[in-house]
Structure 1
Amino acid sequence: MPRWEPDGAERLETAAFDLFAEQGFDRTTVAEVAERAGLTPRTFFNHFADKREVLFGLSAEFRQRVVRGIAECPAAVPPLDAAVHALQGALDTMFEHRRAAVARRFAIVEATPELRERELGKNADLADAVEAALRARGHDPDTARFAADAASAVQRRAMQEWTGTADGPPLRELVVAGLHALRAAVAGGADAARPDTAAERGPTAAR
């Protein structure tokens, strides 16, 4: 049996990110990634289906955490607040401690048209999952769709700002700021940007 490498996935990710940045995603092979990490191609495929999954492998787990977070919100929490709160929880758990790696991933995806297209698809999958989770809570299809799209926009804005600096505010704070900005844009004024939202207070504080 092959020897298990306890830090294999992290080593492979670091090696892949280095090579993608140095020579481009398209010109990098799995064999090169494995060699740079000091592992074998077989070990690579024990962790990732292909080289794209080094960049997108966490998408399914992230969706699952968000859907679970929505389901766990009290029924009184409005749909947009429930979706944003669930996104906050998943982002906190999976990404807050990995700002440098997430920023590197973002730069690699943005530099490659194929990856940008895949990212758009993953974002659409997330919004669809959020919509389905909100509909499961009893919200009508239009409300669920609008809330899902709005929450996804808040999350993308926060991620873009968060990955743009090494020492900026925590991702959670940027999500809240994005939600405030969205509410202000919808209401048409800065005064609407400071509601005491359930997303900021947490789901247990909803009235």
Structure 2
Amino acid sequence: MVRWQPGAPERLQKAALELFATRGFEQTTAAEIAEAVGLTERTFFRHFSDKREVLFQGQQVLVQAFLDGVAAAPPESSPLEVVASGLRSATSLFVDERRAHSRARQSVIDRNPGLQERERHKMTTLATTVADALRARGVDELAATLAAESGVTVFGIAFTQWLRDGEERSLTAIANGVFGELLDLAGKAGVSRENP
């Protein structure tokens, strides 16, 4: 059995995704994932705390991209402008070459309620982190929460569209369109502060 080759986490992720897609998430063990790439189960657990983490390992990269975009927004930006900057930064991670992988990953998640819950938790954590970053910029509690939740919702809707068969637009372009629709809806609502 091969003891070490470069890129073990990536090889384990690729093998796991293939096994999850063909055999099912619940039916695949960590040992089988490791064996598929010539590694031991012990090596698998050096890289991942459990087999779910194979699907969610990049979460911190996404969070950091959002935060980098928030930090890059000019000081005079409105809360929604700051969130839009975070969205642009985060969506730039998802280049077209990642679309097939992202589709396969989402397909596995969509077939497992536990993984769906983990994905929802990931998005809730992202919204909380972005709201905290907005508050650190001096945005009040309510505006920070509304802006962050809206931005994460836009990301989720855009990501779902990006994964659709036949979709060729970039995630950034789709997110810009969804964000624009949100702004249009808010502008057309005509709801006053006194009469919500």
The separation in 1 between residues aligned to 2:167 and 2:7, in whole angstroms, is 26
The separation in 2 between residues aligned to 1:138 and 1:13, in whole angstroms, is 40
Checking the alignment, whether the CA contact within 8 Å between 1:100 and 1:166 is kept in structure 2 is no
What SS does the aligned partner of 1:26 have? coil
Cα deviation, residue 167, structure 1:
4.8
The separation in 1 between residues aligned to 2:113 and 2:135, in whole angstroms, is 33
Counterpart residue number, 1:203? none
Q: How many residues are paired up?
A: 187
The residue identity in structure 2 corresponding to 1:139 is V
Counterpart residue number, 1:202? none
Counterpart residue number, 1:68? 68
Unaligned runs of 5+ in 1: 190-207
The residue identity in structure 2 corresponding to 1:60 is Q
Runs of 4+ in 1 over 3 A off after TM superposition: none
Query: Is the aligned partner of 1:6 residue 2:6?
Result: yes
What SS does the aligned partner of 2:49 have? coil
Checking the alignment, whether the CA contact within 8 Å between 2:135 and 2:144 is kept in structure 1 is yes
The residue identity in structure 1 corresponding to 2:119 is E
What SS does the aligned partner of 2:168 have? coil
| TM-score relative to the length of structure 2 | 0.89
Counterpart residue number, 1:50? 50
The residue identity in structure 2 corresponding to 1:164 is R
Query: Is the aligned partner of 1:34 residue 2:42?
Result: no
What SS does the aligned partner of 2:80 have? helix
Higher relative contact order (CA 8 A, sep 6+): 1
What SS does the aligned partner of 1:188 have? helix
- RMSD over aligned Cα, in angstroms? 1.7
The residue identity in structure 1 corresponding to 2:173 is E
| TM-score relative to the length of structure 1 | 0.84
The separation in 2 between residues aligned to 1:19 and 1:4, in whole angstroms, is 21
Unaligned runs of 5+ in 2: 190-196
